[in-house]
C-alpha cells in the first residue's frame, strides 16, 4: 500500500490507493519525484521534518520531508537544504548517501521540501542499548566505536563542516558493526564569515540536545571541539547505561559518571573527560589529534602480555617452559610398601606366637595350622594398620614446613626475604608486601581500590605507600613483581583478564615509587587469576589477602636462576599467612609464570 505525504490529506493511509498513481483521498501524486513509493511513516518527532520509509523499485530508501509549518521559515529551509548539500559531498560508509534534494507539490498546492537518501539497516545506539537492558558497553567496544566516529568526524571537519548534534540517537549501527553518523540537518559550514562571527562573539543559531551539547554551542558559538564534547557525553551514556543528566550535580556543576564505569581503564576515562572539558583548549585540537590519543591508549593497554592467553606482546622476554622434574615419588612409595610388608610379617608372627601359647599342649604340634578365619582376620588387621600408616605419611607430607607470619610495618603486612630454589638448585630470595586489610580491590572492579570503604585513586594509593615507607620496607630489591588476583564473582576468562589488568595497575604505581631506587633493575607481572576455593562467594572473602594489593620483592639471584620456579618453590615451602597458590586458577605449576617488563 502507498502512503500519501500530503499533510492535509483526509486519508493518507487509504487501502483503496493500492497501486494507484494518485491518492484517492486528495488526488496528490503517490509516486514521489517519479521514483519513490512511500510505504510508512517512521518518525514525526524530529525537530525539522518527518521521516518516511520509501522504495525505489525494490530498494528501501529514506524520505525526509520538512514539516509543512516550517515551509515559510527561511532558516529551517536553509538547514534542511544544507543537510542534502553536506551529505552529497561526503563519501564514506559511516555517512548516509544522498540520492537527491527536491520539492514536491501536492494536488492542493502545498510545496514540500524533500530529501531522498540511503536507508541504514539497523538501530541507533540509544535503541541498541535499550534492547540490552541498558547494559554498558565494554572497553574494547568503546575504543573501537570511538575510533570509528572520530574517523567520520575527521572527514566531516576536513570538509569544513560541523555536525553540531552528536548523540546516541544520531548514531546508527549497521548489522556488520559499522557505525553511521546521521541527521546532518543541523550541520554548519565553517566558512570564513562564520569563523569571523565566532571570533567577534556574535551569536549564531544555537542547536541544543539536552545533556549532550557543549556549553559554547548553547550560546551559538559551536566549533569543531564542540562535536568532541558531544562525543564525550555520548560515550558517557554508552559506558554507564545512564543519561548524562542523571549523573549531573547541578549544585557543584560536576558530572559524577566515573563511578558507574569501573570496568574501564583510567586511560580511557581520562580521555572521555578531556573530550568534555569545560575549557576548549583542554579538548583535543582536532580529529587527528583525537585519533592519535586513541591509538596511544590502545597501545598502552596492549603492550603487556596476559598469561591467561589474553594478549601477546613481543616486547617481553619469552617465557621458557620449566624443565621436566625427575619423578621423586617412586622411592618413597617403595619404602612405604616395603615397610608395610615388614610390618605385616612381624604382626603375623606375633599373632602366631600368641595363639600357640594359648593352645593345649597336645595341640601345639598343630600350631602351624591356624584356622583360615584367624589368618584372614590377622591379614585384615595388618592391612588396616598399613593403610593408617600411609594416611599418616601423606598427611605429614601435606603439612607445610612452616607458615610465614607477617611483620607489621605501619599499614603494610611484610613477609621478609625467604629463599626459593629452581629445579637446578639455583636460588633467589623473595619478600612479600601486602597492604593491610584496609585496602582492597572493589568487588567487580578492574581499576578501583577501596580504603576503609572509600574509593581511592591509584595516585592516592601511591602516596599512601610512600608514606608507609614501602621503599625502605622492601630492602633494596633488584626486581619488583606486581601480583594480580580476582575474586570468584564472574566467569573464569573475564576474571583472569581482570586479575591481569589489576597487576598492570599495581605495576604502574610500583614504577613510580621505585623509579629512583638504584637497586631495581626490572619489573614483572604475576597474574594468579581467579580465586577458586570451594565455598567462595562473590561478596565475601575466605582468606586474609583474597582482594589485597600484593607486591613481591626479589634479590640475591643466583646467575641463571629460573625466577618463576624459585618463586613458586618459596611460596609453596613457606606460604605467607593463609595464602595458597592452589586457590587460584593460574596458580598451578603449568600456568604459574611471571612476565618481564622494562624499566620505563
Residues 26-47 pLDDT 10s: 999 999 998 999 999 988 766 5
Does position 250 have pLDDT exceeding 80, yes or no?
A: no
d(CA 115, CA 456): 53
Asked whether the CA dihedral 96, 100, 101, 103 is positive or negative, the reply is negative
Model pTM above 0.85 = no
d(CA 226, CA 559): 58
Phi first, then psi: give them for residue 419, nearest 5 degrees: -80, 145
Query: pLDDT tens digit string along 199-224?
Result: 334 444 444 467 888 888 767 777 88
Q: Is residue 115 within a helix (H) or strand (E), and if so which, with residue range?
A: strand 111-118
Residue 329 or residue 95, greater confidence? 95
| C-alpha dist (Å) from residue 397 to 386, 572, 583 | 17, 12, 19
* Per CATH, domain 123-302 is 3.40.50.720: no
User: For residue 353, what pLDDT band results from cuts at 50, 70 and 90?
Assistant: low
Rounded to an integer, the average pLDDT of 177-204 is 54
Does position 404 have pLDDT exceeding 70, yes or no?
A: yes
Does position 425 have pLDDT exceeding 90, yes or no?
A: yes
Residue 309 or residue 34, greater confidence? 34
- CA 119 from chain centre, in angstroms, equals 33
Percentage of residues of the chain with pLDDT beyond 90: 34
What are the domain boundaries of the chain?
Answer: 15-118, 123-302, 407-597
Please list the residues that pair with 480 across neighbouring strands: 523, 553
What's the chain's Rg over C-alpha atoms?
A: 37
Rounded to an integer, the average pLDDT of 137-166 is 90
- The hierarchical CATH code for the domain 15-118 is 3.30.200.20
- Highest mean pLDDT (candidates 209-218, 404-413, 562-571): 562-571
3-state secondary structure 185-197: HHCEECCHHHHHH
3-state secondary structure 14-49: CHHHCCCCECCCCCCECEECCCEEEEEEEECCCCCE
Please list the residues that pair with 482 across neighbouring strands: 525, 551
Residue 508 or residue 393, greater confidence? 508
pLDDT recorded at residue 144: 95
Query: How crowded is residue 367: how many other Cβ atoms within 10 Å of its Cβ?
Result: 13
At 554 the three-state DSSP class reads strand
Please list the residues that pair with 117 across neighbouring strands: 62, 98
Rounded to an integer, the average pLDDT of 299-318 is 47
pLDDT recorded at residue 555: 94
d(CA 529, CA 449): 17
Does position 241 have pLDDT exceeding 70, yes or no?
A: yes
Query: pLDDT tens digit string along 1-18?
Result: 689 999 999 988 888 777
Does position 398 have pLDDT exceeding 80, yes or no?
A: no
Characterize the bridge pairing of strands 427-435 and 111-118.
unpaired
**In residues, how long is the chain?**
600
d(CA 275, CA 596): 34
- Per the listing, cell 566467569 goes with 491
Best CA proximity match to 462, nearest among 596, 266, 260, 300: 266
User: For residue 400, what pLDDT band results from cuts at 50, 70 and 90?
Assistant: very low
d(CA 495, CA 212): 34
User: For residue 320, what pLDDT band results from cuts at 50, 70 and 90?
Assistant: very low
- The hierarchical CATH code for the domain 407-597 is 3.30.1330.60
d(CA 510, CA 141): 29
The answer to whether the 15-118 and 123-302 domains have the same CATH topology is no
Rounded to an integer, the average pLDDT of 290-312 is 69
- Per the listing, cell 633467589 goes with 428
User: For residue 195, what pLDDT band results from cuts at 50, 70 and 90?
Assistant: very low
Does position 520 have pLDDT exceeding 80, yes or no?
A: yes
Poorest-confidence range of 64-78, 290-304, 398-412? Answer: 398-412
Best CA proximity match to 259, nearest among 250, 272, 247: 247
Half-sphere exposure of 543 (CA within 13 A, CB side): 22
Does position 557 have pLDDT exceeding 90, yes or no?
A: yes
User: For residue 284, what pLDDT band results from cuts at 50, 70 and 90?
Assistant: very high
At 569 the three-state DSSP class reads helix
Residues 6+ apart with CB under 8 A from 11: 4, 23, 24, 25, 26
Rounded to an integer, the average pLDDT of 511-516 is 85
pLDDT recorded at residue 201: 45
| C-alpha dist (Å) from residue 108 to 24, 26, 51, 61, 113 | 14, 8, 22, 26, 15
- For residue 525, give the C-alpha cell: 607481572
d(CA 247, CA 244): 6
Does position 85 have pLDDT exceeding 50, yes or no?
A: yes
Provide the terminal-to-terminal Cα distance of the chain, rounded to the nearest Å. 68
pLDDT recorded at residue 340: 57
Strands laid side by side in the 171-173 sheet: 123-124, 171-173, 179-181
Rounded to an integer, the average pLDDT of 344-363 is 56
Residues 6+ apart with CB under 8 A from 82: 184, 185, 187, 188, 189
Residue 416 or residue 45, greater confidence? 416
Best CA proximity match to 155, nearest among 93, 240, 217: 93
- For residue 399, give the C-alpha cell: 603439612
User: For residue 389, what pLDDT band results from cuts at 50, 70 and 90?
Assistant: low
Asked whether the CA dihedral 564, 565, 570, 573 is positive or negative, the reply is positive
User: For residue 436, what pLDDT band results from cuts at 50, 70 and 90?
Assistant: low
| C-alpha dist (Å) from residue 542 to 12, 398, 526, 569 | 69, 20, 21, 24
d(CA 51, CA 525): 55
Rounded to an integer, the average pLDDT of 531-540 is 76
pLDDT recorded at residue 591: 92
d(CA 450, CA 455): 5
pLDDT recorded at residue 234: 96
At 359 the three-state DSSP class reads coil
User: For residue 382, what pLDDT band results from cuts at 50, 70 and 90?
Assistant: low
Q: Is residue 591 within a helix (H) or strand (E), and if so which, with residue range?
A: none
Query: How crowded is residue 507: how many other Cβ atoms within 10 Å of its Cβ?
Result: 23
Amino acid at each position: 500500500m502507498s502512503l500519501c505525504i500530503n499533510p492535509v490529506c483526509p486519508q493518507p493511509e487509504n487501502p483503496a490507493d493500492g497501486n494507484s498513481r494518485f491518492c484517492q483521498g486528495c488526488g496528490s501524486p503517490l509516486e514521489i519525484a517519479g521514483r519513490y513509493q512511500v510505504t510508512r511513516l517512521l518518525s514525526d518527532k524530529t525537530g525539522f521534518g518527518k521521516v518516511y520509509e520509501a522504495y525505489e523499485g525494490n530498494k528501501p530508501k529514506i524520505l525526509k520531508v520538512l514539516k509543512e509549518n516550517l515551509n515559510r521559515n527561511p532558516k529551517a529551509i536553509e538547514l534542511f537544504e544544507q543537510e542534502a548539500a553536506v551529505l552529497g559531498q561526503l563519501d564514506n560508509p559511516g555517512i548516509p548517501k544522498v540520492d537527491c534534494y527536491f520539492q514536491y507539490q501536492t494536488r492542493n498546492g502545498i510545496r514540500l521540501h524533500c530529501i531522498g537518501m540511503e536507508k541504514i539497516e539497523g538501530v541507533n545506539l540509544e535503541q541498541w542499548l535499550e534492547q540490552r537492558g541498558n547494559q554498558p558497553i565494554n572497553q574494547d567496544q568503546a575504543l573501537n566505536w570511538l575510533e570509528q566516529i572520530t574517523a567520520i568526524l575527521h572527514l566531516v571537519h576536513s570538509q569544513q563542516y560541523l555536525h553540531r548534534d552528536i548523540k546516541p540517537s544520531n548514531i546508527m549501527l549497521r548489522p556488520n558493526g559499522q557505525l553511521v553518523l546521521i541527521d546532518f540537518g543541523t550541520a554548519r559550514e565553517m566558512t570564513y564569515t562564520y569563523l569571523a562571527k565566532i571570533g567577534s562573539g556574535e551569536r549564531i543559531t544555537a542547536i541544543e540536545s539536552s545533556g549532550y551539547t557543549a556549553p559554547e554551542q548553547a550560546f551559538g558559538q559551536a566549533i569543531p571541539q564542540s562535536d568532541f564534547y558531544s562525543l564525550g557525553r555520548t560515550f558517557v551514556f554508552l559506558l554507564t547505561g545512564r543519561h548524562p543528566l542523571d549523573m549531573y550535580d547541578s549544585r557543584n556543576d560536576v558530572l559524577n559518571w566515573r563511578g558507574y564505569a569501573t570496568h574501564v581503564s583510567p586511560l580511557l576515562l581520562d580521555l572521555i573527560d578531556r573530550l568534555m572539558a569545560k575549557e576548549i583548549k583542554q579538548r583535543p585540537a582536532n580529529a587527528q589529534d583525537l585519533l592519535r590519543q586513541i591509538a596511544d591508549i590502545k597501545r598502552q593497554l596492549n603492550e603487556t602480555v596476559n598469561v591467561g592467553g589474553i594478549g601477546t606482546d613481543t616486547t617481553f622476554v619469552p617465557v621458557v617452559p620449566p624443565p621436566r622434574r625427575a619423578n621423586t615419588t617412586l622411592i618413597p612409595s617403595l619404602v612405604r610398601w616395603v615397610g608395610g610388608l615388614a610390618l605385616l610379617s612381624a604382626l603375623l608372627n606375633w599373632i602366631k606366637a600368641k595363639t600357640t601359647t594359648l593352645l593345649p599342649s597336645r595341640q601345639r604340634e598343630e600350631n602351624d595350622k591356624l584356622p583360615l578365619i584367624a589368618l584372614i582376620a590377622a591379614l585384615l588387621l595388618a592391612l588396616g594398620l598399613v593403610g593408617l600408616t600411609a594416611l599418616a605419611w601423606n598427611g605429614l607430607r601435606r603439612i607445610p614446613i612452616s607458615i610465614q607470619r607477617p611483620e607489621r610495618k605501619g599499614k603494610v603486612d611484610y613477609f621478609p626475604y625467604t629463599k626459593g630454589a629452581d629445579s637446578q638448585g639455583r636460588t633467589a630470595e623473595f619478600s612479600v608486601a601486602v597492604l593491610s586489610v584496609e585496602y582492597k580491590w572493589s568487588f567487580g572492579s578492574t581499576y578501583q581500590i577501596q580504603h576503609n570503604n572509600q574509593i581511592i585513586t591509584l595516585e592516592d594509593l601511591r602516596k599512601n605507600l610512600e608514606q608507609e615507607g614501602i621503599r625502605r620496607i622492601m630492602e633494596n630489591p633488584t626486581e619488583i613483581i606486581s601480583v594480580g588476583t580476582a575474586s570468584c564473582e564472574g566467569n573464569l576468562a573475564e576474571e583472569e583478564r581482570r586479575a591481569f589488568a589489576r597487576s598492570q595497575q599495581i605495576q604502574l604505581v610500583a614504577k613510580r615509587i621505585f623509579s629512583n631506587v638504584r637497586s631495581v633493575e626490572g619489573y614483572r607481572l604475576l597474574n594468579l587469576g581467579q580465586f577458586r576455593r570451594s565455598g567462595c562467594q562473590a561478596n565475601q572473602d575466605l582468606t586474609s589477602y583474597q582482594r589485597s594489593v600484593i607486591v613481591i620483592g626479589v634479590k640475591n639471584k643466583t646467575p641463571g636462576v629460573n625466577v618463576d620456579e624459585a618463586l613458586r618453590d618459596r611460596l609453596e615451602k613457606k606460604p605467607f599467612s593463609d595464602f595458597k597458590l592452589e586457590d587460584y586458577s593460574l596458580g598451578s605449576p603449568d600456568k604459574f609464570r611471571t612476565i618481564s617488563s622494562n624499566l620505563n
